[in-house]
Structure formats: C-alpha cells, structure tokens
Chains A and B, each alone.
Chain A
Amino acid sequence: MVVMSIREAINRTIAEEMERDADVIALGEDIVGGMGTAGGPEAIGGIWGATGGLYARFGPGRVIDTPISESAIVGAAAGAALAGKRPIAELMFADFVGVSLDQLWNQMAKFRYMFGGKTRCPAVIRLIYGAGMNAAAQHSQSVYAMMTAIPGLKIALPATPADAKGLLTEAIRGDDPVLFFEHKAMFGVKGEVPEGEHRVPFGHARLTREGGDVTIVTCGRMVGFSEKAADKLAEDGIGCDVIDLRTTSPLDEEAILDSVELTGRLVVVDESPPRCSLAADIAALVAAKAFTALKAPPQMVTAPHTPIPFARELERAWLPSPAKIEAAARAALAFRS
C-alpha cells in the first residue's frame, strides 16, 4: 500500500495503463496545457493536474491536446475506440456533456447494441464534476444521474484513491464506454492505494460503515458526508450501513436490498436535484423490491430542484450535508405508521 491522493492515483493509473498497452491514448482540452505558447507543452499539465507528465513520457501521438471542441473530443474518442484504440478523453467540467451529448448518447452508448454486438467501443470519458468550489451553475453539476439513465454507458464514481485506481483500470481495460466521474473537490483526498495490479469490478458496492438500524446509499463526495453522519449517529447508539455504490451503472441492487432487508430504513444521499435523480431511482427500487421490509418511507437527501448558486453561503445551503443526512436517518427511525 502507498498513500496518495485521488489526483495521483488517477495520474499514475493512466500512465501505467499507457505503459502496459500501446493502444491506450489520452485526449482533451489542456490535458497537456501550454501547446502553441511561449511556455511550451506541459506549461500547465492539465488544469486538474491529473494528466501532468504524460506528454513528456508518451509524446504527442498518444497524449493529444485538443482545441475547445467537446463534440469533437468525445466523438474522436468514440471513433478511435471503434478503430481499435482505448482512448481516455477528458471533459474538463462534467457540465460540458451538454455540448457533446450526441456523441455520448446517440453514438458511443449505442454502437455495440445498434450494430448487433459486432463491435465494441472501449472509450473512457473522464468528467470532472461536483459542487463545493463555488464554481456556480455551469461548472458544478453532478450529471451522473442523467448519464446513468442512458443504456449502453457504464458510470463510475470513485470516492477513494484506491477506488480511483481500481475503477479507472477496470474502465480502461473493459470493452464498453465508461463515463468516469472525478469530483473536483476530492482530487486532494488521500488514502492507501494497492501497488501493482488493482482492479475493482463494476457493479460491486463498498460497505464503508456497518450498522443494523439505517441503510444509507450514496456515491462520490456524498460518501464522506454520509460517513460523518453515520459516525455521529453511532455516538447515540444508532448503527448505519453506509453503501458506496462505486458505479451507478451497473448498479449493485443486491447490496442495497440486502441491507434494507436488515435495517428496514433507507436514506439515499445524492449530490444533485431530486427529480429523476439517483436518489429517486434507488428509492423506487427499494419501494418496489423491498416493500415489506420497510419500516419507514425512503428518505431522499438531495440538493433542491434549483440551479447551483455561487455564493459560499448559498452553495452550502444547496448541498446535502452530514447534518441533513443525520436528520433524515433520525426521521426514518422516528417514523410510526
């Protein structure tokens, strides 16, 4: 085990995979940074630092800095994947999926099915997402639920450096398109990462806290928030299962349902507005498949149904928080039919 940040885990995983397989290439806006300037290539090294050093190591043929052209970036990744490569494209902000949506939704997601299973499209799109840095309405969104709604895409959201490595490795080596969501406020989060080969299979959730009273289902940055709430509740003798989904597509239904069968109470925590959200999806799943186990209505802790505000106070108010999660768990426990 080595302690490193999520940023380092992603950077090293990309480098290791590029080293291992000459078909792995990287592309995106400013992933090299400084092309065509006095400062020269790698003057920036990627605005998130996740792609620093790759250009020097692997050269311009495989580490491709692109213009600001999200449709072309995602489309080129899809086309290169059809043509035998394993591209890793970066969307500097997940919010930019809107610019490139056709290539994600109508193109790479559908090729394998639409072409009768005779092709594969092993592209990875890295999307930097999430609120918490006061980046306001167009640079803070968690669009993973919208993307989870698209058949044909796999969706991964690591919450730890180890999972960043394990899930990204799996994404690159898999034969289907993967949207890999990296939370912009979590790049500095440190943790132990296994050395050498480390793969985390998709569709296997991680139980980060164990307790028999309430099931908290969540992903991404909300995992840490949920753990804080669970730890607080534990001080009062209330035990929570905290389930980090790791991937929302495929979804580990079994982990969710098994836990709810034991606890009878569900809290879903989702860093996005509530309508047609991951929270609503999980609540519906549990209502449909674990109805008789439920002792209380499912609780959804989400952002409000608004755009994301800028000011610190407003953004804090918009986001779910450990206190809101704790309150939702207590509400579930207090419910009497």
Chain B
Amino acid sequence: MSQLGRDDMLRAYRQMATIRAFEERLHDEIKTGEIAGFTHLYAGQEAAAVGVCEHLADDDYIVSTHRGHGHCIAKGCDVKAMMKEIYGRADGLCKGKGGSMHIADVSIGMLGANGIVGAGAPLAVGAAISAKLDGKGKVSVAFSGDGACNQGTTFEAMNLAVVLQVPAIFVFENNHYSEHTGVEYSVGTANDIASRAEAFGMKAWRANGCDFFSTFEAMREVLEHVRSGGGPAAIELDTERFYGHFEGDPQRYRGPGELDRIREQRDCLKAFRERVGEYGNVTSDELDAVDSEVAQLIEEAVSEAKSAPPPPPEQVLEDVYVSY
C-alpha cells in the first residue's frame, strides 16, 4: 500500500461513502413515490467501483450497467446532477431523458449506464480500439456482473478484444445474484467467472470486491499489464448486493439472516475502517468527518433535486434529428 497516500485514502473512502449514502437515501426516497421508474441500487459493491476507478483518469473509459450509480460516482460524475437525473429534472445529467439506468458523462469517459444486461462489453471494446489507435496508454473498462457474463455479447467482446489486443478490461462484479437467480445455478463454471476470461486467452485476476485494498491492489497489477501493452485482461470481484435486484424486490430468494450477515461481515466501509488502521495515516475522526461531509452533500442533492423544475414537454423532440 505504499503508493496510497493520505489524500488518496481519504478520497477513496469519500467516494465509497458517497455511493453508500446516495443509494441508502434513494432506498428511502423511492418509498415516497416521488421517483419514477426502475432503480437498481449499488450499495454493498462500492469497493469494486472505487477500487477500479481510482486508477483511472478522465480520458480512460468505462461502460457501466443497469446497476450503475456507483460506477458513475466512482468515475467522477456530478452527484447532484445525477440525483436530479434520477428525479427526472431538466438539469439532470442527461436532462431527464435517461434516468437511473442511462446516466452518462462522456466528457469524463463515462460512456453510460446501460439498461441491457451484457450490452456494455462490445461498447467497451470499441472504446478500447479508439484508445489503442490514440496511443496514449488509455484503457477501457467494461463493468459486468454474474448475469452479463452469460450473455453472448460478453463472449464476443472478450474474443474480439483478445484478437485485436486492445486495452480492454473486463471487470466482473460477482454479487451472487443475476436478478433473482443464484450464481451457482446460472453460471456453469459455478463461482468462477474469471476462468471464462482466461479461456478466451486473456490474463485474469481475482480479488475481494468487498475490500477496497484487495480490489485496488489487484487492479494495479491489471492496469500495469494493460497499460504496458499486454493486451486485454479481466478481473473478477467477489462482492455483495445489499438490496434487491430493483427497489421493491421482496428478496424472497435470500437465505435466513443473509442480509444481516453480509452487512455485518462484508461491508466494505467497515472493512476500510478496520484495515486503514494498518497504515496508520488516516484516523477514524477524519473518516467521521468525511461521513458528515457526504451526508451534507446527499442532503443538498436530494433537496435540490426535489425543488428543481421538470423538463418542459417540448424537449421531447430535442436531441434527436428526425421529427415526423
């Protein structure tokens, strides 16, 4: 951990805490009925998004999933503009046209959350083709889960990335559930998705996706491999989903005490506080201060989103080139 200074540690914690607070607040706000549509919360997986994205710059690319809020925040999307987007407001990050599943900010390399499971990997390979041509050492990351790892698009994308030797990184966040189905059932290689990537001819890493330091260190090796021209790579992150597939999911598939257990044993924020002591350069008071700042930010984001104006109806015909 020698390369992680105090500021880096605090920044990583702040990113994870922001995602957690964002999602937990949404979990409460959705119950009020004020937020339209489908929302898929990322809470529990924060160490994965942040452990990956802390290595990336604005000109690196990521492609996200339907469970994308965490990736967006980790890549640097404006949190208040994201909240407004989820509330469907005119000055939301996508002007209220995308919503929870389609948040994007291409200007910082965030090429979109995506409502179609498995659709992102081919897009990430395309961005990797662009990155390779540009020759500046940029990389392109496809976030996928144990659901998307069964889609043919993901297989095609992995093969194409290997054939073309482009700087693509396939991040498989294994949260053990594809929608409401267990990974032991749906993934033929059981709890081993990385072996699929290896079978396509790329190097793969495995890390604890509920531990920032585990993910961050493994990603350092992944990035060294890919940025030095070693071709595409994969990393499987063993992680946990604290909420349902979507908000409103009764989660009857969970085992007795399962949610309590994973919150107790696999909470990346708790793990961070425990492990950060090993490095002695950040105190728990400082982390508490971060928590307070984050709480304030989320409070402002929600209250500003609630009072922000909705898009005017005439905008339905804007940002597309054919009216008929």
Contacts and interface: CB of A to CB of B under 8 A. Distances in A.
Contacts of B322: 151, 154, 249-250
A64 B164 contact: yes
B98 A115 contact: yes
Interface residues of B, number: 49
Contacts of B105: 118
Interface in A143-171: 151-152, 154
Interface stretch (A76-84, A126-134, A326-334): A76-84
Contact of A113 (B121, B126, B153, B319): B319
Given A64-B164, A118-B106, A85 B129 contact: yes
Interface string A112-128: 11111111000000000
B320 A152 contact: yes
Interface in A83-120: 83-85, 87, 102-103, 106-107, 111-119
A75 B119 contact: yes
Contacts of B324: 251
Interface string A44-80: 0000000000000000011010110101111111111
A117 B320 CA distance: 8
A75 B122 contact: yes
B63 interface: yes
A119 B95 CA distance: 12
Nearest to A75: B122
Contacts of B121: 75
Contact of B97 (A74, A77, A114): A114
A78 B126 contact: yes
B112 A113 contact: no
Chain A interface residue bracket vs B: 35 or more
Interface string B78-96: 0000000000000011111
A72 B105 CA distance: 23
Contacts of B97: 113-117
B190 interface: no
B94 A107 contact: no
Given A76-B129, A80-B130, A106-B115, A71 B152 contact: yes
B57 interface: no
Contacts of B102: 114-115
B321 A250 contact: yes
A270 interface: no
A27 B166 CA distance: 14
Contacts of A87: 126
Contacts of A84: 130, 134
B132 A61 contact: yes
Interface in B148-184: 152-153, 156-157, 159-160, 163-164
B96 to A, nearest CB: 7
Interface in B90-138: 92-98, 102, 104-107, 111-112, 114-116, 119, 121-134
A25 interface: yes
Among A106, A111, A112, residue most surrounded by chain B Cβ atoms (within 10 Å): A111
A253 B129 CA distance: 39
Given A72-B125, A103-B123, 19 more contacts: A72-B156, A75-B122, A75-B126, A79-B123, A79-B130, A83-B111, A84-B134, A112-B320, A113-B319, A115-B94, A115-B102, A116-B94, A116-B95, A116-B319, A117-B318, A119-B104, A151-B320, A151-B322, A250-B321
Interface of B: 61, 63, 92-98, 102, 104-107, 111-112, 114-116, 119, 121-134, 140, 152-153, 156-157, 159-160, 163-164, 318-322, 324
